[in-house]
């Protein structure tokens, strides 16, 4: 295989020259900006670590890989474009399963293979029935299904991240539409619509990182509240004036209050 063979796959490119796709190339700056914004947001809420940091780095790598593809336009550049996207999708999927299902460590590892098998099977089925116009978008079916799946999960859980996750799924749907229509609208729009895919997709990925960071912060607060709860009752004295600060202690205080009231009425 000749890794330096030129690729002409987008409406804007009219020659194999380095700057034959200036708009498609320059709009990759949106990925770098989105990575910076997502990282700063994660740092502000104390989540700039682990999977969130990896996703921010992969988002920046997506921008650099896509820039290489839309300038060099060769097979090796296409690989540099695709690999960071697939890695981002995999890391985001694992992080989402961990943070939205509450599965810890080994349980998350057990969830990943069947979910991946389901996504791959659905993509394979779509590839068999998709019309020629949609075949280029079939490769992004796992990301599409994952986003809408997590949106449905957060809706069922009535979780606060539902709004942002649904927004990310909607924006990704619009961006995938722009990517798909690049070729068919080439005669009408000489620049094509692939650059819209870059802008909208950068927004989508920044939203995904933001949702995962917020969910991580929420889980951390819940763990801290559990750690602060005493194992038996609100305090050694059990007085209501102690104003318990965790849900378990508050329930214990209400129980003590009701029990005391019943004893007082029985004594009368």
Residues contacting residue 253 through CB under 8 Å, at least 6 positions apart: 233, 234, 238, 240, 242, 244
Angle, to 10 degrees, between the axis of helix 141-157 and the axis of helix 162-180?
Answer: 160
Residue 12, marked binder: no
Which has the closest alpha carbon to 55: 20, 19, 96?
Answer: 96
Residue 98, marked binder: no
What is the 3-state secondary structure of 75-111? HHHHHHHHHHHHHHHHHHHHHHHHHHHCCCCHHHHHH
Which has the closest alpha carbon to 124: 135, 114, 133, 113?
Answer: 135
Residue 232, marked binder: no
Residues contacting residue 143 through CB under 8 Å, at least 6 positions apart: 89, 172
In whole angstroms, give the CA distance from residue 125 to residue 129: 7
Which has the closest alpha carbon to 133: 181, 94, 91?
Answer: 181
Are 92 and 55 spatial neighbours (Cβ–Cβ below 8 Å)? yes
Helix runs in 102-140, H state only: 106-129, 135-138
Helix runs in the chain, H state only: 22-26, 29-44, 50-72, 75-101, 106-129, 135-138, 141-157, 162-180, 194-228, 247-267
Token pair in block for residue 192: 């094509």
Are 202 and 30 spatial neighbours (Cβ–Cβ below 8 Å)? yes
User: Binding site residues for Zn(2+), as ranges?
Assistant: 70, 194, 198
User: Binding site residues, as ranges?
Assistant: 21, 70, 194, 198
User: Binding site residues for Ca(2+), as ranges?
Assistant: 21
């Amino acid at each position: 295989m000749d890794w330096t063979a030129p690729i002409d796959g987008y409406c804007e490119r009219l020659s194999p020259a380095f700057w034959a796709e200036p708009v498609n190339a320059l709009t990759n700056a949106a990925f770098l900006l989105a990575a910076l914004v997502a990282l700063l947001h994660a740092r502000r809420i104390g989540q700039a670590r682990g999977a969130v940091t990896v996703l921010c780095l992969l988002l920046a790598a997506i921008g650099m890989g896509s820039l290489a593809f839309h300038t060099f336009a060769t097979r090796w550049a296409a690989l540099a474009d695709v690999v960071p996207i697939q890695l981002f999708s995999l890391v985001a999927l694992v992080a989402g399963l961990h943070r939205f299902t509450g599965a810890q460590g080994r349980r998350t590892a057990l969830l990943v293979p069947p979910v991946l098998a389901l996504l791959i099977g659905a993509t394979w089925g779509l590839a068999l029935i998709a019309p020629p116009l949609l075949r280029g978008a079939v490769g992004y079916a796992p990301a599409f299904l994952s986003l809408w799946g997590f949106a449905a999960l957060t809706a069922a859980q009535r979780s606060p991240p539902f709004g942002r996750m649904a927004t990310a799924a909607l924006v990704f749907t619009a961006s995938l539409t722009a990517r798909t229509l690049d070729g068919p609208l080439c005669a009408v729009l000489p620049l094509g619509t692939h650059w819209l895919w870059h802008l909208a997709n950068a927004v989508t990925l920044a939203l995904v990182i933001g949702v995962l960071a917020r969910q991580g912060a929420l889980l951390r607060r819940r763990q801290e509240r559990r750690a602060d709860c005493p194992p038996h009752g609100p305090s050694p004295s059990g007085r209501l004036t102690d104003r318990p600060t965790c849900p378990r202690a508050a329930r214990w205080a209400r129980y003590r209050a009701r029990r005391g009231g019943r004893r007082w009425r029985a004594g009368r």
